[in-house]
A and B are shown apart, each in its own frame.
Chain A
Amino acid sequence: MTDESQAMSGVTDGPLLSVENLRTTFYTDQETIHAVDGVSFTVSPQQTLGVVGESGSGKSVTARSILGLVDDPGRVHPDSEIRYHDPAFVQTVARTYPDRVTWAGEKTARSASDAFVTIESGSGEGSSVTVERGSVNLVAAPDDVTRSLRGSEVAMVFQDAQTALNPVYTVGNQIKELLDIHQGLSGTEATEAAADLLESVGIPDPKRRLSEYPHQFSGGMQQRTVIALALACDPAVLLCDEPTTALDVTIQAQILELLERLQHERNLSILFITHDMGVIAQVADAVAVMYAGEVVEQASVDRLFDQPRHPYTQGLLQSIPGLASEGDRLPTIDGRVPTPNEPATYCRYAPRCPEAFEECKSTHPERVPVDSANEKSGWMRAHTAACLLYPEDESLEDRLQMHHNFGAPDESDAATTAREDD
């Protein structure tokens, strides 16, 4: 217990969840689809990261990859990293798998070759290790670890609430099942807790509602129930996969307010997936814009809306009714999102990009700071875009060279080290 609280107090300003070069590929008989192709982002404690993109840009697959829910024929590339940084969780896992722990900065005796637990600071050894800072790589971790993460650490709120609830069990039954699994509550205690949960997500007369079936709920109440289900797990991170898409605007606003309130009450970190820029503006602290399986621009929400840099983001923002004032026709982005069915050796947005030039067809843009002033600032203020136009204060030749070096897998390490040395 003391160990646990000690571990808890070790929460620092690092990320809670980080995704590094996530690649999820679907192998079918006809083609290979790179649904998520080198996505990186971080979710900070008690912050909301908005992931925005059109249908088919790989948003949902990203969320499913985090929880290990990608089914055949999809596979998460083994070099991808999905790291969860909660010290208490890392400590539990490190104690369960003492021979698969590696100590950061200490590459010799104590690290294992198939390690998936990284301890940055801590003390002790083997099954009595204490972790103050560290992370678990969920891609390399055994299924048991991913399973123990589901719900209790990272819970998911799905898009279609009507089908996300089991139709043949009462709402109370489904909530109490999760309360039993994650909080060990049963009997009247669980009923009380379940009613409290329903009340906290704004469902009136919760006692009676517990004994009702999902089909007796309205659409908004079903979505609230799905959120209550996720909260019953008492998670630290909530993955919200388009939770408001199926709802009308007034209900949508209520659900967004509810999520905001719950985030403050329960100290939740949220990964919010949506295709709606308006929703992003309302809920997110930081935004990652996805296009055809890649993150094309990432910035804090204010920066992204004030100074969108990637042509795709600019196009998206211009096509919001009301934001574009001139003319009587709404600007649109012509064409549609391509299916990423080949490795990216070019810019996937180039065919639709108004600013595309010759090199866009042959050079794959990497995520770089939009200007050199941005390079050294903290993560929350960092503004990156995957476009050959940036960093904009470099010459075209330098930019091309930079993107080229990043893209080449052999040289990428050397390039990063060189830059860090500067």
Chain B
Amino acid sequence: MSRLQYFLKRLALSVPVLFFGATLTFVIFRFGPIDPAAAIVGEAATEASRAEYQRIRVQLGLEQPVLEHYQQFMVDFFTLNLGQSWVLAPGTDVVDLLLIYGPRTAWLAFWAVLIPIFVGIPMGVYAGLRSNTMTDYSLSLFGIVWRAMPNFWLAIILLAVLSQSDALIGFDWNAFLVETSVTGTPDLSNITSPAGFAAATKQVLPAAIVLGSASMGSELRIARTAVLETINSNYVETAKANGVSERSLVWKHILRNSMIPLVPTITNEAFLLIGGSVIVEVVFGINGIGWLFFQAAINGDLPLVVALVFVFIVVVVIMNIVQDLLYVLIDPRVGYEGR
């Protein structure tokens, strides 16, 4: 019961976090160094543009008293009325933009999270089980290399190699399995059909590998450490001394305990994907949220930037809740404060 209580407590605590985050975006919007209206109108030289400037300020609520504006801003955000884009796609609702751009980033992030989990963690576990062997050393080195390669560099190298793969490594990436190009936005319209799924996956795969590369490296190393620590714990020795088979030792006793330090690593790495997706989406020409955010920022589309920042905050808070949920499921000691 205390586990459920713990989870509900964490859930309740996320509300003030959300509130504080939204307030911060409001402060940036209202008191930040850039005047949102000026950025939209541009040079206010003529009489007409000055009138336009004034009209936009009113419309954005900047002429209201601060408290009134703040109240309206918060109510709008918490009712998911995120406003409109003014520069990039004038007059389009942010929610509509999210519906167009969001799924592409979600698809990219999905693979960028899955690849480290299903490649990095098994490698780390294997290295941990065979610690201080040649296999362990090569796997650890492999992890360090992936961890160390910066995304922007790796993205460009991968782009260069894959786009000329025929000439460079004698293997045509574009024609492999399904016809795709290295760059460009995945087509998610017929993702339910096998061919469509394969095409959409292959399209984001290079970007997902780049985005997940660092996570894969760190998850490999954390998994190795966690397994090593668990292997040397007394309960594993007890189970071994009482005749539990090697397979059950690994799959039952070691793995679940190793997952406890891995959960925050996975979710923390997932936060990084939000920032990383901006670079990777730009390099690979995927029109996702990261790309949209980048364009909005350099074009001074402040209402859109603020709305996207709020969306990122919501995503981070949701991930935190997922992390707490996983904790509660894996570790029965969570929320236990003694009798």
Show the binding face of A for B, using Cβ within 8 Å.
Answer: 67, 69, 72, 147-148, 150-152, 155-156, 158, 160, 163-170, 174, 177-178, 181-182, 213, 215-216, 226, 229-230, 232-233, 239
Contact = CB atoms under 8 A, between A and B. Distances in A.
B237 to A, nearest CB: 6
Interface in B118-147: 132
The DSSP consensus for interface residues of chain B is helix
B257 A147 contact: no
A69 B235 contact: no
Interface in B158-202: none
A182 B241 CA distance: 13
Interface of B: 132, 233-235, 237-245, 248, 252-253, 256-257, 260, 330-333, 336, 339
Contacts of B253: 166
A345 B313 CA distance: 71
A230 B240 CA distance: 11
Contacts of B235: 163-167
Q: Which residue of B239, B240, B241, B332 has the most chain A CB atoms within 10 A of its CB atom?
A: B241
A230 B332 contact: no
A229 B242 contact: yes
Given A158-B234, A167-B235, A178 B332 contact: no
A174 B336 CA distance: 20
B237 A69 contact: yes
A121 B218 CA distance: 60
B234 A168 contact: no
Given A167-B257, A213-B332, A178 B234 contact: no
A164 to B, nearest CB: 4
A212 to B, nearest CB: 9
A144 B238 CA distance: 18
A243 B239 CA distance: 16
Q: Which one of B330, B333, B339 has the highest number of Cβ atoms from chain A below 10 Å of its Cβ?
A: B333
22 contacts: A67-B241, A69-B240, A72-B132, A150-B240, A151-B242, A158-B234, A163-B235, A165-B235, A166-B253, A168-B260, A168-B332, A169-B252, A177-B248, A178-B242, A178-B244, A181-B243, A181-B245, A182-B243, A213-B332, A215-B332, A229-B242, A233-B242
Contacts of A215: 332-333, 336
B242 A166 contact: no
A65 B235 CA distance: 18
Contact of B332 (A67, A158, A163, A167): A167
Return the 5 tightest CB-CB contacts between A and B, nearest first. A151-B243, A156-B241, A163-B234, A150-B243, A151-B242
B256 A163 contact: no
Contact of A150 (B241, B260, B331): B241
Contact of B243 (A152, A168, A174, A226): A152
B3 to A, nearest CB: 10
Nearest to B331: A168
Interface centre among B239, B256, B336 (most CB of A within 10 A): B239
